[in-house]
A and B are shown apart, each in its own frame.
Chain A
Amino acid sequence: MRRVHDLLRHPRAARVLSWVGFVASWQLVVPLLPTELVPTPSEVAVFMWNELRMETVAPHTVYESFSLSFQRLGVGLFLAFAIGVPLGLLMGLRRRAEWFLHDFVVVGLAMPSLVWALVTGMWFGFGDLAPVMTVTLAAVTFVVINVAEGVRNVPKDLLDMSGAYGVSRYATIRHVIFPSLMPFFFAALRYGLANAWKGLVLAEVWASTEGAGWVIKFWYDAHRSQGIVGYALFFIIVAIFIERIVFGRLSGWVFRWRPSDSRQAPEPTVADPDKSAPAAVPGRQ
């Protein structure tokens, strides 16, 4: 008993035990429910294992579905950065541009991804365009606001140093301005991705015949709840992989100059452009 008590004082052991307890409770409680539409964890696990082995009745495998969704996500995010970075630079550098764009950015931040998914589905119909545009629209304001904030936060003392030594404009942009924007690019990518990812799934549910979102709808129509829960877990696993592995390693490399205990890109604290609202909240639905 004492050993169990000691074990629970360890944070990692406590977390593992909480998950084990949750899954065990789930497995025990579900058979008692008066419905067959709630799957047990073992049913979900079997479903996911079969999907990974490409033994599925769905028209597309999990690999094909996620591959297509990633392509749409990539193109949409590329467009969001291609549009958002110049607009963010403009807002950060020119006060008139900020006045002009301010309200649109606030509207964009407040707009649920669901709305973008619905309207792009209506405008562009079934196909790739609606999911791609949903990703772009869901992410672009996060890019604009973070880049604008980054430009405003370029250290003036370093710019003055650069100017005092007569360093060229190109070298100043490359070695002073761009590196100081990196934490804000990361914030834009992280929040934009979180919001865009949810928007993409919704757009694929409404306006696509392929992709991971559409497969969730396929299992919904088939009344196979383990399919919905299984795909939700696939989404969570992918999100954790991107956050921990991709962002973790990338920020560790980009911010390698920081002391080792603070190499992660800083949590974005970018507020509403008028600085009167709390931090922009990712993933609004």
Chain B
Amino acid sequence: MATIKVTDLRKEFVTDTSTVVAIEDISFEVGGHEFVSVVGPSGCGKSTLLNILSGIESPSRGTVDITEGDRKAKLGYVFQSARLLPWRSVLDNLLFVQPTSGPQARERCARYLDMVQLGHTAKQYPGQLSGGMQQRVGIARAFSIEPDLLLMDEPFSHLDAITARTLRRELHTLWQETGKTVLFVTHDVSEAVELSTRILMLAKGGRLVTDMPVELPFPRDPASDEVALARADLLRRFESLDLLAA
């Protein structure tokens, strides 16, 4: 099981006239078969946090250790938009990120495409798919490398409500079947409550203000009383911290 250990992490963006603090000295740990959602208002540093964890950006200060046992953990990343190579077929997009080539990698990629019900699109180009299908390819790509840790940055925010709900179910099934550790960024409190085992809340300025478990059994019905109560509790925390107004 992958473990994330973030210690005193800080990220500043320096412009010609000012310094903007995106993440302010946060520390937390994630381990085991956890599905952790990071919630917060727009501009609170959620995506920056994932970019630092994935190595796309480097921190201004602090440390990040992502390990699987005694080795560095393998990461999969699902972005807000699918970020597929438009000039490569769907299957080739999955093959592009494989650490090794060969028939095994090809078979694995085909299997994950089947898991998101897109096996029949393997030879098509991304431009021939709908937005929801492209995002499913992005999810299949992340799972196809069989990562120890999956980072997801608001993967359903650009999709219509029905497609997003379908994909949330597919994601939950994949997470349960594969036992991966997932760090899931969202600004949608309902989504976080429906999917997560634990929720981290960031405030404007990148401060970590809440770290709460979600102790509800799966599968969770978004319309059930339990989920509604948990969502209301989270929203109250938001309001008490004046996060929504920020």
Residues of A within 8 A of B (CB): 157-158, 160-167, 171, 175-176, 179, 257-259
Contact of B54 among A164, A171, A176, A259 (CB under 8 A): A164
Chain A residue numbers with a CB within 8 Å of B75 are: 164-166
Tell me the smallest distance from the CB of B21 to a CB of chain A, in Å. Answer: 22
Of B84-92, B181-189, B201-209, the one with at least 4 CB within 8 A of chain A:
B84-92
Known: A166-B99, A175-B88, A257-B86. A161 touches B127 (CB 8 A): no
Tell me the smallest distance from the CB of B52 to a CB of chain A, in Å. Answer: 11
Q: Choose among A158, A160, A176, A258 the residue with the greatest number of B CB atoms under 10 Å from its CB.
A: A160
Known: A164-B56, A164-B77. A259 touches B96 (CB 8 A): no
- Total number of residue pairs linking A and B with CB closer than 8 Å: 46
Tell me the smallest distance from the CB of B190 to a CB of chain A, in Å. Answer: 27
C-alpha gap A191/B214 in the complex (Å): 61
Chain A residue numbers with a CB within 8 Å of B125 are: 257
Chain A residue numbers with a CB within 8 Å of B76 are: 165
Instruction: Tell whether B165 is near chain A: CB-to-CB under 8 Å.
Output: no
Which residue on B lies nearest to A175, using beta carbons? Answer: B96
Which residue on A lies nearest to B127, using beta carbons? Answer: A259
Instruction: Tell whether B169 is near chain A: CB-to-CB under 8 Å.
Output: no
**A interface, by DSSP: helix, strand, loop or mixed?**
helix
Known: A157-B79, A171-B96, A179-B85. A165 touches B55 (CB 8 A): no
Are B77 and A176 interface neighbours, CB within 8 A? no
Chain B residue numbers with a CB within 8 Å of A162 are: 97
Are B56 and A160 interface neighbours, CB within 8 A? yes
Chain A residue numbers with a CB within 8 Å of B127 are: 257-259
Chain B residue numbers with a CB within 8 Å of A161 are: 77, 79, 83
C-alpha gap A157/B138 in the complex (Å): 13
Q: B197-232: contact bitstring with A at CB < 8 Å (1 yes, 0 no)? A: 000000000000000000000000000000000000
- Given pairs A161-B77, A164-B151, A257-B87, 8 additional interface contacts (CB within 8 A): A157-B79, A157-B81, A158-B85, A161-B83, A163-B56, A164-B56, A165-B97, A179-B85
Chain A residue numbers with a CB within 8 Å of B83 are: 157-158, 160-161
Q: Which 5 A-B pairs have the closest CB atoms?
A: A165-B97, A161-B83, A257-B125, A164-B54, A164-B77
Residues facing A in B25-69 (CB within 8 A) are 51, 54-56
Instruction: Tell whether B2 is near chain A: CB-to-CB under 8 Å.
Output: no
C-alpha gap A151/B21 in the complex (Å): 30
C-alpha gap A160/B78 in the complex (Å): 12
Are B85 and A165 interface neighbours, CB within 8 A? no
C-alpha gap A257/B85 in the complex (Å): 10
Tell me the smallest distance from the CB of A264 to a CB of chain B, in Å. Answer: 15
Tell me the smallest distance from the CB of B93 to a CB of chain A, in Å. Answer: 10
* A-B residue pairs in contact (CB < 8 Å), sample of 14: A157-B79, A157-B81, A163-B56, A164-B75, A164-B77, A165-B76, A167-B97, A175-B88, A257-B86, A257-B88, A257-B125, A257-B127, A258-B86, A259-B128
Tell me the smallest distance from the CB of B195 to a CB of chain A, in Å. Answer: 21
Residues facing A in B140-198 (CB within 8 A) are 145, 151
Are A176 and B85 interface neighbours, CB within 8 A? yes
C-alpha gap A160/B125 in the complex (Å): 21
Residues facing A in B71-127 (CB within 8 A) are 75-77, 79, 81, 83, 85-88, 96-97, 99, 125, 127
Chain B residue numbers with a CB within 8 Å of A167 are: 96-97
Which residue on B lies nearest to A256, using beta carbons? Answer: B125
Tell me the smallest distance from the CB of B225 to a CB of chain A, in Å. Answer: 39
Are A179 and B87 interface neighbours, CB within 8 A? yes
C-alpha gap A167/B93 in the complex (Å): 12
Are A164 and B55 interface neighbours, CB within 8 A? yes
